[in-house]
């Protein structure tokens, strides 16, 4: 599709679309494999420096919690420092190394994958659709990395700190598998990266006429309750941690309302101009 003019795309068969998509897929796969090899070779930086970072007392979030506790006159020692990780499978660490390398490659190469997708889809879009999708790759990538960083620096250390110390009985000792720990860090971070696509989702829903600023304002309280419940579920059961997570999420919702307003205003202006031209 990327090599065809827009006027020719309607005449392309399904097989021709697949042929047009193939080079984009090949380039995307090769890029991910190259990044995966690089990530595999950077084991110390990737695993010890990044993924095991939230276990350290020197991690920014843990230092912030200690500082905040000091202001409140409370002695706080991050429990995750005392957490011991184990491996229970012969090839467990090697398989985990491969998995982490692939996930890291996907995260780093995410903008490039989006760009290849954009190159494939662009010829089929109308001029109006192209105007609505300007900087698509930039905005999606920015939301993805912002969510990834929020999940890594805020949600992951709070979640790990709580779960690693939680106990149903003194007779039970936590022996946490390294795969379980790393999966928690990765899943939480990537989940936040997806959640941070909310403004972009609202943008497209507004352009389609499915969502409006008034609708989002009307259900603001419902959204606040839902986000508060979500914050309480994914963080330790204390008010400070819950608020620390809730504020950015609610700010994201408020920002989505502004996005919807601007989108609706621009769409109305475009339609007015088109009508006058006719």
HEC string for 86-136: ECCCCCHHHHHHHHHHHHHHHHHHHHHHHHHHHHHHHHHCCHHHHHHCCCH
pLDDT given at position 90: 93
- Residue 101's CB: how many other CB atoms inside 10 A? 21
What was the pLDDT predicted at 240?
A: 63
What pLDDT is stored for residue 241 in this prediction? 66
Give the pLDDT confidence score for residue 102 in this predicted structure: 97
Model confidence band, residue 277 (pLDDT cutoffs 50, 70, 90): very low
The 10s digit of each residue's pLDDT in 13-25 is 777 778 888 999 9
Q: Mean pLDDT, to the nearest integer, of 56-77?
A: 78
Percent of all residues in the chain with a pLDDT value above 90, rounded to a whole number = 39
- Reported as a single tens digit per residue, the pLDDT across 95-105 is 999 999 999 99
- Which residue has better confidence, 263 or 9? 263
Predicted pLDDT at 98: 96
Query: Taking 50 as the threshold, does the pLDDT of residue 61 lie above it?
Result: yes
Percentage helix, strand, coil for the chain under 3-state DSSP, each rounded to 5: 80, 0, 20
Average pLDDT over residues 221-227: 90
HSE, side-chain direction, 13 A CA sphere, residue 29: 6
Distance CA 156, CA 153 (A): 7
Reported pTM:
0.80
Cα–Cα distance for residue pair 93/259, rounded to 1 Å: 44
């Amino acid at each position: 599709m990327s090599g065809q003019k827009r006027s020719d795309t309607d005449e392309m068969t399904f097989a021709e679309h697949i042929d047009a998509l193939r080079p984009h897929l090949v380039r995307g796969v090769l890029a991910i494999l190259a990044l995966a090899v690089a990530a595999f070779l950077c084991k110390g930086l990737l695993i010890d420096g990044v993924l095991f970072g939230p276990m350290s007392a020197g991690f920014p979030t843990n230092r912030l919690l200690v500082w905040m506790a000091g202001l409140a006159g409370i002695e706080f020692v991050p429990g995750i420092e005392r957490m011991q990780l184990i491996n229970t499978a012969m090839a467990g660490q090697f398989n985990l190394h491969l998995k982490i390398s692939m996930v890291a490659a996907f995260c780093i190469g995410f903008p490039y994958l989006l760009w290849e997708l954009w190159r494939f889809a662009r010829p089929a879009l109308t001029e109006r659709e192209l105007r609505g999708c300007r900087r698509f790759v930039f905005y999606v990538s920015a939301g993805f990395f912002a969510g990834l960083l929020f999940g890594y620096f805020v949600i992951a250390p709070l979640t790990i700190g709580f779960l690693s110390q939680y106990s149903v009985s003194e007779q039970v000792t936590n022996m946490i598998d390294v795969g379980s720990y790393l999966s928690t860090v990765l899943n939480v971070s990537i989940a936040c990266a997806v959640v941070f696509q909310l403004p972009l989702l609202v943008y497209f829903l507004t352009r389609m006429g499915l969502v409006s600023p008034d609708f989002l304002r009307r259900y603001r309280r419902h959204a606040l309750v839902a986000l508060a419940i979500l914050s309480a579920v994914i963080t330790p059961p204390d008010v400070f941690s819950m608020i620390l997570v809730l504020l950015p999420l609610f700010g994201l919702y408020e920002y989505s309302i502004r996005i919807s307003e601007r989108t609706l205003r621009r769409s109305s202006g475009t339609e007015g101009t088109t009508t006058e031209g006719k």
